[in-house]
Structure 1
Amino acid sequence: MDSTELAPNREAGPLLDTDVLRTFVAIAESGSFTRAAKQVFRTPSALSMQIKRLEEILGHVLFVREARRVRLTPEGEVLLGYGRRLLRLNEEAIRQFLSPVLEGRVSLGTSDDVGSRILPGVLAQFARSYPAVQVDVVVGSSQQNLDRLDAGELDMVLVTIGNEGQERRGEVVHTEPLVWAGREGGVAANRSPLPVALASHGCVWRRAALTALDDAHISYRVAYTCDNCFGQEAAMLSDLAVAPFPVSLVRPPLRKLDREGLPALVEYQIALVRGGSNPVNDALAGHVKDAFIDLR
């Protein structure tokens, strides 16, 4: 073997310091050097020096300083995504070697729309961190899963909240706007009465959509009713109807209907409701909450 193949790579670039990345993410998420300084237990001037050095290393300005807040530049937005992932990997590596070995079983209830967004990543990362823990997932409506939780059949559930008069339970882990969606180039949004695809009775999305249409005095007909968001998506893809949909789930060939004069919809929230606390449950709950942070 050529000896040059074993020589160190002297042209390798500088490494990003975890402590500096933590500072950068804290500033980006709080929008303030002062607030971030309190979170990382340093002075604002020390944070400013860290960011200045980081900008020199990367060759790009990361923040725009304004009168009362700071905001990310386009380059800063890119680094924020990398920073969050690198910090998460660092924490995962530390847990792998320093956390006590966990064994057991934990069950999670979720709706299909929530599960499709976060569960693949959550389950993969959790399995790497805690290979001796078995995770059981049950998909159902929010009310069904709450009933299972109260009956002791599940350890924790992710539920959609936002219905008027609905009991608020658990910890809010995600807030997202609902938007009207339909097929790109479709004609469903131009029909009268407006054909809409909705989830079953009791769904937050259904109530928000019907309330908005009634308040705007727009005539409509419920053209499609289903128990999950995949049914609504099928109706939109077939151009049979439009539907209220989380903005993060609107992907081509669907598009946000922002030129059709449809009434604005509200934001809705997802809460994590837990039946109890133990090391296994706490570990999975932490992974779930981290996954929602990554969606922001």
Structure 2
Amino acid sequence: MTEVSTGALDLEALRSFVVVAQQGTLAAAADQRNRTVSAISMQIKRLEEHLDTRLLLRGARGVSPTPTGEALLREARELLRQHDNLLARFTGRGLSGTVRFGLPEDYASELVGQILPEFLASHPDVLLEAVTATSGELIKRLQRGELTLAVLLDRQNRLRGGEPLWRTTPVWAAAREARLEGDQPLPLALHPVDCPYRALGVEALEAIGRAWYAVFTSTSINALETAVESGLAVGILDRRRLTPAMRVLDESDGLPSLHGGEAKLYFGQRIAADSRPAVEALAALLRERLHRRAPWPGERSDNTRKG
């Protein structure tokens, strides 16, 4: 009996497809993969011919996966992860290279405490360089090529693409016993000007004509929380960060509602070939731990009621 073979998938073509889907353009993928645009295009074309389906939609601003491409993207990531782990296990070579990871200050303690130690324990030969900053600052570093991977809040984010991880839930937070005077400017504790939460709150206040001023500004989320707990100022925090010393303010306190957004995962445009498997491994762990849930293990519902 003759064995019928449809041929094997080209793993390098799959890697190129994954990078194109992540970056949104063939040019960015070619730069990251150290190949020409025509070589990347040919790999995608052969992959589409092999699978007899269209994987990418071409548009004026770049490319995006078709529904079939989205399905392949999920499978391809898992296949490449298993392949790289298998190769590392049997060759004795674990993942190496450098991962420069950026994450928002508001979520740093949870990510650093839960996910990064697990990653380094599994991949001790990887050099991890993690930095915290506001999303606006992280965007600048990502665009300058200083980061290979970053979690960013989507507001004020001009980057295309990004993989959604979890929904954010910003609220007005005040000391539990604080009371507002409706005719007085609102004292705020804020991150610097490139913080998405700051922009969200300021725009909401200006939309209703409510005066405000920054009584306290800091890049430290812990310092902002202390300013809120002490009654010094009102802050804009993720609902899950509220402590028993805080309460939520809303329309009954004369403040506008705040709309949540998304935290997304972004890859840098220039990733060294020997570091890419390690970057992909951290991205896979972040997806596994954070997709459709925030970094916290659960809601602290007793802290989120208006008191």
Instruction: Provide the TM-score with structure 1 as the length reference.
Output: 0.60
2:134 is matched by which residue type in structure 1?
Answer: S
SS in 2 for 1:132: coil
| Distance in 1 (alpha carbons) for counterparts of 2:138 and 2:199 | 20
Superposition CA RMSD, Å? 2.8
| Distance in 2 (alpha carbons) for counterparts of 1:189 and 1:228 | 27
Of 114, 138, 149, 2:131 maps to 138
- Report whether the alignment pairs 1:239 with 2:237: no
| Distance in 1 (alpha carbons) for counterparts of 2:98 and 2:289 | 20
1:186 is matched by which residue type in structure 2?
Answer: A
In structure 1, the partner of 2:303 is none
Give matches, 1:64-143, under 5 Å: 100=88, 101-143=94-136
Instruction: Provide the TM-score with structure 2 as the length reference.
Output: 0.58
Q: Is the 8 A contact 1:197 1:222 kept in 2?
A: yes
Cα deviation, residue 189, structure 1? 7.0
In structure 1, the partner of 2:191 is 199
Q: Is the 8 A contact 1:189 1:195 kept in 2?
A: no
SS in 1 for 2:262: strand
SS in 2 for 1:162: coil
- Report whether the alignment pairs 1:209 with 2:228: no
Distance 1:201 1:124, change over 3 A: same
Report Cα offsets for 1:135-175 as digits up to 9, x if no partner: 11112232333333333332112222213x83444222222
In structure 2, the partner of 1:266 is 259
2:282 is matched by which residue type in structure 1?
Answer: L
Q: Is the 8 A contact 1:107 1:135 kept in 2?
A: yes
Report Cα offsets for 1:181-224 as digits up to 9, x if no partner: 11112235778222111221132111211121122233322222
| Distance in 2 (alpha carbons) for counterparts of 1:175 and 1:125 | 23
2:226 is matched by which residue type in structure 1?
Answer: A
Distance 1:191 1:185, change over 3 A: farther
| Distance in 2 (alpha carbons) for counterparts of 1:191 and 1:292 | 42
SS in 1 for 2:147: coil
Count of residue pairs brought into register by the alignment: 202
1:128 is matched by which residue type in structure 2?
Answer: A
Question: What 5-or-longer segments of structure 2 have no aligned partner?
Answer: 1-81, 89-93, 299-307
Distance 1:254 1:191, change over 3 A: farther
1:123 is matched by which residue type in structure 2?
Answer: L
SS in 1 for 2:278: helix
Distance 1:208 1:252, change over 3 A: same
| Distance in 2 (alpha carbons) for counterparts of 1:173 and 1:284 | 14
Give matches, 1:175-194, under 5 Å: 175-187=167-179, 192-194=184-186
| Distance in 1 (alpha carbons) for counterparts of 2:264 and 2:109 | 16
SS in 2 for 1:117: helix
In structure 2, the partner of 1:284 is 282
Identity of aligned residues (%): 27
